[in-house]
């Protein structure tokens, strides 16, 4: 639960820093421009969405994590009804992965 709070905080920081791309079409465009370093898929997104982005992630060698619900993910980035979020900053992407792997964000 503590890591979930850290993840919430990190997603909020990413959003405030303008390093979050949200929504299917916007994320696809950012992937084509090679701007996405990490994809976060909501656990309750459709199977079609999950399959599509997992395939794209593999092809483009972008790390994908499936976590949080659409409601949680959307709320933390200040948007509504988002099933997919792309992180466009390498350092934020690494920090989020570290949190999800159970590590600290600093140090």
- Residues 58-72: tens digit of each pLDDT: 999 999 999 999 999
- Report the C-alpha gap between 13 and 3 in whole angstroms: 15
CB 52 within 8 A of CB 59: no
Under 8 Å CB-to-CB from 99, ≥6 apart: which residues? 3, 6, 7, 10, 105
pLDDT for position 80: 93
- pLDDT < 70 positions in the chain: 1, 103-107
pTM of the entire structure?
A: 0.90
Residues β-bridged to residue 20: 87
- Report the run of H or E that residue 92 belongs to, with start and end: helix 90-100
Q: How far separated are the first and last CA of the chain, in Å rounded?
A: 21
- Report the C-alpha gap between 9 and 17 in whole angstroms: 12
Please write the tens of the pLDDT for every residue from 38-52. Answer: 999 999 999 999 999
If DSSP codes are grouped into helix, strand and coil, which group holds residue 90? Answer: helix
CATH code of 2-100, in short, is 3.30.1330.30
């Amino acid at each position: 639960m503590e890591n979930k709070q850290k993840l919430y905080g990190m997603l909020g920081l990413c959003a405030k820093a303008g390093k979050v791309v949200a929504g299917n079409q916007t994320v696809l465009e950012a992937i084509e421009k090679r701007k996405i370093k990490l994809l976060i898929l909501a656990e309750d997104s459709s199977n079609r969405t999950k399959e599509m982005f997992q395939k794209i992630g593999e092809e483009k060698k972008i790390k994908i994590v499936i976590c949080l619900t659409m409601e949680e993910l959307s709320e933390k980035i200040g948007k509504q009804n988002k099933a997919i979020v792309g992180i466009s900053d390498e350092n934020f992407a690494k920090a989020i992965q570290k949190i999800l792997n159970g590590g600290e964000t600093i140090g």
